């Protein structure tokens, strides 16, 4: 294994073996990160492939409309897309600016106060794994 790989992997842990992966200087665009995070959350709450594709489409439409006047949700599926994107936007913003641990803490704090507690719990499970942050940092994270 090349020394650079060992160095990169060892930099993900602090001296207390605490998770400190740095998401700064992301390889993906903001839209791609939001889509990827949203997709992972959607997969955690929806198992029906047809519903998942519809949910993903609704999330993308809302991501693309960012900056326009917010459109109220039309139905339950649209509300779920809005809720997932609220979590994804919080995660993305905090992780890029302050790191993965801060993103986890922000979601814990926002749970029940603007963020659906069930979605917060799903993210805390997903975001507790190093592979989540590694994949988010990767150029290949978006498989849409």
Please provide residue 13's backbone torsions phi and psi, each rounded to the nearest 5 degrees. Answer: -125, 140
Secondary structure of the chain in HEC code, one letter for each residue: CCHHHHHHHHCCECCCCCECCCCCCCCCCHHHHHHHHHHHHHHHHCCCHHHHHHHHHHHHHHHHCECECCCCCCCHHHHHHHHHHHHHHHHHHHHHHHCHHHHHHHHHHHECCCECHHHHHHHHHHHCCHHHHHHHHCCCCCCC
Q: What is the pLDDT of residues 56-88, one digit of tens each?
A: 888 888 888 765 557 778 888 888 888 898 899
Q: How much of the chain exceeds pLDDT 70, in percent?
A: 73
Are residues 24 and 137 in contact, defined by beta-carbon separation less than 8 angstroms? no
Question: Is 80 exceeded by the pLDDT of residue 10?
Answer: no
Return the domain boundaries, the chain: 28-137
pTM of the model: 0.72
What percentage of residues in the chain have a pLDDT greater than 90? 25
């Amino acid at each position: 294994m090349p020394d650079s790989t060992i160095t990169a992997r060892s930099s993900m842990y602090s001296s207390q073996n605490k998770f400190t992966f740095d998401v700064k200087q992301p390889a993906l665009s903001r839209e791609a990160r939001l889509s990827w995070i949203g997709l992972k959350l959607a997969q955690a709450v929806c198992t029906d492939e047809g519903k998942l594709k519809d949910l993903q489409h609704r999330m993308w439409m809302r991501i693309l409309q960012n900056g326009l006047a917010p459109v109220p949700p039309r139905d339950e599926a649209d509300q779920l897309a809005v809720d997932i994107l609220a979590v994804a936007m919080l995660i993305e913003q905090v992780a890029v600016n302050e790191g993965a641990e801060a993103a986890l803490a922000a979601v814990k704090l926002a749970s029940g106060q603007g963020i659906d507690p069930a979605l917060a719990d799903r993210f805390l499970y997903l975001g507790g794994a190093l592979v989540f942050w590694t994949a988010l940092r990767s150029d290949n994270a978006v498989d849409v």
